[in-house]
Chains A and B, each alone.
Chain A
């Protein structure tokens, strides 16, 4: 008897558990789809490796990236360079520093610039986009005008070629790593603002917004609790893709000499610029930092594309 009741009790427990574990949101669904995507896994692995390198770089680098330990062996004026060898996996650079150590340590700079500038662009862009989108969807006539003014300003920013805009900002603020971050970040602002506004406009016309309005919910709450969360998925995708472009653009600015003035601190863009002079004698010096930039950008792009697919409302079951 007692065993039988025990069994029934356990069965009841089990069914109760399985019933309570249902609340899964669309974000959880998207994550599940993302994990099943090969592209996302590859992109994620690349980014993961890149992040680990960036964090651990200085500790795992075999040599000091700024020390000219093999000074006698490299003679740039005679075209003598040291390529790959047991001691120095990627060879030595033009100042006889270990190239492998420099690449490892440089990863941190690159990642930092990419993330900070994208976050800067995202934060300001999303703020402008939210204001503009909210004004356009729920602000009535006055809101429409506010939206128009903001959007014309954004259009002006978009009309300038992004590199030109970044270079002018960098030239204005002077040469430093912060400059590069700000310049690359500002270039991203109009993209995020326009994207979020457009997405909010699409959501603003949807039935559930009409239904919440019909229930008298306040406008601020409709925007923040209903419209914005539903408009975020393209912004999230864009953030990932932006990380890739930010890394490339940051490298480009450094390459143009607008980055960190201290050439001793390794940075992939700067390394690329410095190797240019010796490209015909030691092309590999350019290939390593270039590959670094390309692979990390590829990682973010793959993940971004996979996220676009995972978050696509048309694919939601």
Chain B
């Protein structure tokens, strides 16, 4: 039994006089101790809402939750708020995206760290301050006793995120949810923060649920990856498997659209057409179909289930998954490392596109697609 086991989680926003919005529908994944699981997807695909639902932080009005989220023998979705409050901060903690707005501007850092220590560990006064300084030191904030007296606006962006991480790990939680922890930071700081998170996972055996849109973060950190599109998992695989052989056209497109240093000069980027807004209800077919390059009529003939077209434990929700012509790439992929594999995957896109453009279905689609 995994530490956190999310089963068929669905989140629907309801509003009087408005049609319901399915933010997340039927998302399942497991997070084990010492494991880093990624939830990847573009803005609006339901990543952050998932994390808030797991923390019990969604408002109780206007939100309908479905499914289960087993954590330590209890269901996080139906647990009482008072039990959740005891769990939050001590067993499950969360790191937010924007470190400046996530810290109270009028309260010194020290007070914000010690209040968690006194809430969950019963530390008071000098003992709490000492432990707080120790925590700041542990997350790599120099001169921690001085920093404790400072206000959030006096700290740099990286230090603020470190302080937030210190608060999150103050009670050695078993599950850490990081919601885009590096998005608001610049690249050098991003690397440091990821390094710190990795250390915490390795040393403490904390389970980490990493929510991000950054495939670089996934490549550097995650063991298992779930690619979300429009509130559903479209591909779920181990990191290596995903980067070596992205099989859902969306995952494939995401990897193909990353700018590469070793690409020839002047070669245009391969974007995914359209935006997440023009989507289809998952019950009617594949929501990604309007943006997909290998779209066929079959895509819209009813709900698409997760299958394992390539290898076990590599789930894909697609009727025409991107499968390599085995004889072309097979041998290469076998012993290539992650970066090379992504390269090979990039080549696949071109192949698949070529093949598709010759098929009659693709030709029909071309006429109806705008521009």
Q: Mark A128-167, 1 if CB is under 8 A from B, else 0.
A: 0000000000001100100000000000000000000000
- Total A-B pairs in contact (CB under 8 Å)? 94
**Is A19 a contact of B119 with CB atoms below 8 Å?**
no
Instruction: Among B88, B105, B111, point to the contact of A26 (Cβ < 8 A).
Output: B105
**Is A217 a contact of B119 with CB atoms below 8 Å?**
yes
B87 to chain A: which residues have CB within 8 Å?
Answer: 216
How far apart are the CA atoms of A215 and B90 in the complex, in Å? 7
Known: A230-B104, A230-B106. A23 touches B149 (CB 8 A): yes
How far apart are the CA atoms of A208 and B167 in the complex, in Å? 12
**Is A216 a contact of B102 with CB atoms below 8 Å?**
no
Instruction: Among A24, A140, A212, point to the contact of B104 (Cβ < 8 A).
Output: A212
**Is A211 a contact of B90 with CB atoms below 8 Å?**
no
How far apart are the CA atoms of A226 and B119 in the complex, in Å? 15
Query: Distance (Å) between the CB of B48 and the closest chain A CB?
Result: 11
Is A20 on the interface with B (CB-CB < 8 A)?
Answer: yes
Report which residue of A25, A27, A140 has the largest number of chain B beta carbons within 10 angstroms of its beta carbon. Answer: A25
Is B81 on the interface with A (CB-CB < 8 A)?
Answer: yes
Q: Mark A200-241, 1 if CB is under 8 A from B, else 0.
A: 000000111011111111110100011001100000000000
Query: Distance (Å) between the CB of A181 and the closest chain B CB?
Result: 32
**Is A221 a contact of B115 with CB atoms below 8 Å?**
yes
B234 to chain A: which residues have CB within 8 Å?
Answer: none
Is B46 on the interface with A (CB-CB < 8 A)?
Answer: no
How far apart are the CA atoms of A217 and B120 in the complex, in Å? 9
**Across the two chains, which residue of chain A brings its CB closest to B108?**
A23
Query: Distance (Å) between the CB of A92 and the closest chain B CB?
Result: 54
Query: Distance (Å) between the CB of A52 and the closest chain B CB?
Result: 33
How far apart are the CA atoms of A117 and B183 in the complex, in Å? 50
Interface size class of A (residues with CB under 8 A): 20 to 34
**Is B104 a contact of A216 with CB atoms below 8 Å?**
no
Query: Distance (Å) between the CB of A314 and the closest chain B CB?
Result: 13
**Is A208 a contact of B103 with CB atoms below 8 Å?**
yes
Is B98 on the interface with A (CB-CB < 8 A)?
Answer: yes
**Is B85 a contact of A218 with CB atoms below 8 Å?**
yes
Instruction: Among A26, A207, A219, point to the contact of B102 (Cβ < 8 A).
Output: A207
Report which residue of B86, B87, B119 has the largest number of chain A beta carbons within 10 angstroms of its beta carbon. Answer: B119
**Is B151 a contact of A24 with CB atoms below 8 Å?**
yes
How far apart are the CA atoms of A214 and B115 in the complex, in Å? 13
A229 to chain B: which residues have CB within 8 Å?
Answer: 104, 106-107
B106 to chain A: which residues have CB within 8 Å?
Answer: 25-27, 229-230
A26 to chain B: which residues have CB within 8 Å?
Answer: 105-106, 151, 153
B105 to chain A: which residues have CB within 8 Å?
Answer: 26, 208, 230
Is A22 on the interface with B (CB-CB < 8 A)?
Answer: yes
How far apart are the CA atoms of A210 and B94 in the complex, in Å? 10
**Is B101 a contact of A216 with CB atoms below 8 Å?**
no
B149 to chain A: which residues have CB within 8 Å?
Answer: 23
How far apart are the CA atoms of A20 and B103 in the complex, in Å? 22
Query: Distance (Å) between the CB of A241 and the closest chain B CB?
Result: 22
A206 to chain B: which residues have CB within 8 Å?
Answer: 101
Given A215-B88, A230-B104: 7 more A-B contacts, CB < 8 Å = A22-B154, A207-B96, A208-B104, A212-B104, A214-B55, A218-B119, A225-B107
| Closest 4 A/B residue pairs (Cβ) | A216-B89, A216-B88, A215-B89, A207-B101
Name 10 A/B residue pairs within 8 A (Cβ), A-sorted. Answer: A141-B60, A144-B61, A207-B102, A212-B104, A213-B57, A215-B88, A215-B94, A216-B116, A225-B111, A230-B105
Listed in ascending order, the chain A residues whose CB lies under 8 Å from chain B are 19-20, 22-27, 140-141, 144, 206-208, 210-219, 221, 225-226, 229-230, 316
